[in-house]
Amino acid sequence: MHCLNRIRKSFYPEHYFPDQPSEDIEDYMNHFLDVLRQAILCHGDISIVYWWNSNYTYIDETGARQHTEEYLRLTPKDRFYGAFTMWDTEVQCRDMDAINAWKRARAADDVE
For 100-109, what is each residue's pLDDT tens digit?
999 899 988 7
**Residue 104, number of CB atoms within 10 A of its CB:** 10
How many whole angstroms separate alpha carbon 61 and alpha carbon 82? 25
- Whole-prediction pTM: 0.52
More confident residue, 110 or 35: 35
Asked if residue 112 has pLDDT above 70, the reply is no
DSSP bridge partners of 51:
85
Answer yes or no: are the C-beta atoms of 77 and 68 closer than 8 Å. Answer: no
Displacement of CA 38 from its chain's centroid (Å):
14
| Ramachandran area for residue 82 (φ above 0: left; ψ -120 to 50: alpha; else beta) | left
